[in-house]
């Protein structure tokens, strides 16, 4: 399919040992994926790396060079293991210091100066040149540097930040999709399905097998930015499945 527009692409970088240890399940990526799909932005890659500066720097630089946007989650809290802001500054080769705008946001929440301690003030350390992402929940902001959106790891806070960032993003043409349950095993439909795919090159046809109490079954997911092409391919898939059942 020729695409008459510039695709908008994205990657997610999840920063966190706790995901890699298996202790915490990463739910943020799924949320961001669904959100971006709704904006017509193509999520191309997700990476999870540990709380290690060199690993973060390398991943940020690889991803920001390749995709329209990079969304990071995690590592921007007040504790010693929160090193994302420093790593982002290093990746961009810029300085980092307490940002007066971020300090002001924290002061809104921590009105007693004793509460705005050195630890909390770490959350106001923002790389030079970044724009802040407001956080209505805990006030400590995320930030945008270049094409990198740096967000919290706590899901409710990350979602609040994404809602702030979302409206500022370039959007693409939303991919439409149709899901057809095959009521057949993948192996029984693989060849005729491949023929449908060849006949409908403007539609991506994915085949997703699953096992449930009734045994092996298959969901066919058709995706396209061209609604008419999608409908034609869906008709062809259904005709193929009907023919097989005869």
Exposure string for 210-239, b = 16+ CB within 10 A, e = fewer: eeeeeeebbebebbbbbeebbebbbebbee
Binder among 61, 96, 207, 240 for a copy of itself (CB under 8 A): 207
Cβ distance to a copy of itself smaller for residue 94 or 180: 180
Stretch that binds a copy of itself, among 91-99, 126-134, 162-170, 187-195 (CB under 8 A): 187-195
35 binds a copy of itself (CB under 8 A): yes
The b/e string for 140-177 (b: 16+ C-beta within 10 A; e otherwise) is: bbbbbbbebbbbbbbeebbbbbbebbeeebeebeebee
Closest CB to a copy of itself among 128 and 210?
Answer: 210
Query: Would you give the DSSP letter of residue 166?
Result: G
**Interface with a copy of itself in residues 143-182 (CB under 8 A):** 154, 156-157, 175, 177
Q: Which is nearer to a copy of itself, 24 or 168 (CB)?
A: 24
Of 7, 100, 119, 227, the one binding a copy of itself (CB under 8 A) is: 119
194 binds a copy of itself (CB under 8 A): yes
Burial of 39 (C-beta count, 10 Å sphere; 0-12/13-18/19+): middle
Does position 125 interact with a copy of itself (CB under 8 A)? The reply is: no
User: Residue 215: which H helix or E strand, with range?
Assistant: strand 215-224
204 binds a copy of itself (CB under 8 A): yes
């Amino acid at each position: 399919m020729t695409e008459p527009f510039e695709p908008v692409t994205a990657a997610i970088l999840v920063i966190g040992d706790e995901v890699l240890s298996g202790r915490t399940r990463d739910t943020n990526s799924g949320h961001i994926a669904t959100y971006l799909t709704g904006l017509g932005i193509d999520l191309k890659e997700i990476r999870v790396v540990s709380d290690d500066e060199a690993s973060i720097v390398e991943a940020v630089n690889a991803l920001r060079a390749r995709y329209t946007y990079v969304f990071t989650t995690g590592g921007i809290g007040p504790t010693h293991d929160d090193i994302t802001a420093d790593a982002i500054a290093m990746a961009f080769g810029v300085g980092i210091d307490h940002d007066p705008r971020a300090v002001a946001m924290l002061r809104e929440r921590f009105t007693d100066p004793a509460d705005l301690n050195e630890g909390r003030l770490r959350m106001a350390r923002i790389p030079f040149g970044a724009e802040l992402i407001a956080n209505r929940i805990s006030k400590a902001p995320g930030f945008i540097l270049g094409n990198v959106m740096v967000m919290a790891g706590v899901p409710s806070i990350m979602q609040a930040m994404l809602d702030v960032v979302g409206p500022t993003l370039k959007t693409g043409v939303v991919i439409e999709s149709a899901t057809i349950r095959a009521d057949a095993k993948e192996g029984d439909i693989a060849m005729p399905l491949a023929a449908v795919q060849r006949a409908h090159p403007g539609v991506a046809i994915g085949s997703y097998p699953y096992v449930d109490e009734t045994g092996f079954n298959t969901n066919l997911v058709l995706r396209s930015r061209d609604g008419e092409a999608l409908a034609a391919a869906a008709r062809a898939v259904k005709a193929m499945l009907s023919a097989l059942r005869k």
